[in-house]
């Protein structure tokens, strides 16, 4: 999946908003997809378990990019203006960059991924750079 990730301004001619997101065919619109991130963070934990530190750190660097990209879908006070009940949408994640929909699975995948990422980043032996 990481091979289908927009990873830098230099290789991505579309827009910097795509960095950390996924595509099916290069040049497609970005999918800031937390469910894919959940799978890849599982690969990180597996690499750590197998003591493949170089692979784990490589995965982690990409997951930090994905977390930054995912936060572009976060609903803050400025982005819930179009909702009938803005307070219900506040602090959730929208379905896509171009949609204001809030779906339970979009929120759940993002919360699970970000909580596991936070835990991994606060471990003593995490070295992503």
What's the pLDDT tens digit per position in 9-43?
Answer: 665 565 677 889 999 998 888 888 899 999 999 99
Matching residue, tokens 């779906």: 103
Whether the per-residue pLDDT at 128 is higher than 70: the answer is no
Which run of H or E residues covers position 114? Answer: helix 104-121
101-127: average pLDDT: 87
Rounded Cα distance, 85 and 35, in Å: 26
pLDDT digits (tens, 9 = 90+) for 47-90: 999 999 999 999 999 999 999 999 999 999 998 988 899 999 99
| 124 pLDDT above the threshold of 80 | no
Instruction: Specify the pTM.
Output: 0.84
Tell me the C-alpha distance between 63 and 102, whole Å: 23
């Amino acid at each position: 999946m990481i091979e289908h990730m927009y990873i830098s301004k230099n290789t991505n001619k579309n827009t910097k908003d795509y960095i950390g997101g996924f595509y099916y065919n290069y040049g497609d619109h970005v999918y800031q997809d937390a469910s894919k991130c959940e799978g890849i963070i599982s690969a990180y934990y597996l690499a750590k378990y197998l003591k493949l530190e170089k692979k784990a750190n490589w995965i982690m660097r990409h997951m930090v990019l994905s977390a930054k990209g995912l936060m572009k879908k976060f609903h803050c006070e400025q982005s819930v203006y179009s909702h009938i009940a803005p307070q219900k949408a506040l602090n959730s994640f929208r379905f896509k960059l171009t949609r204001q929909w809030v779906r339970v699975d979009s929120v759940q995948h993002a919360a699970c991924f970000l909580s596991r990422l936070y835990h991994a980043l606060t471990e003593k032996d995490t070295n992503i750079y």
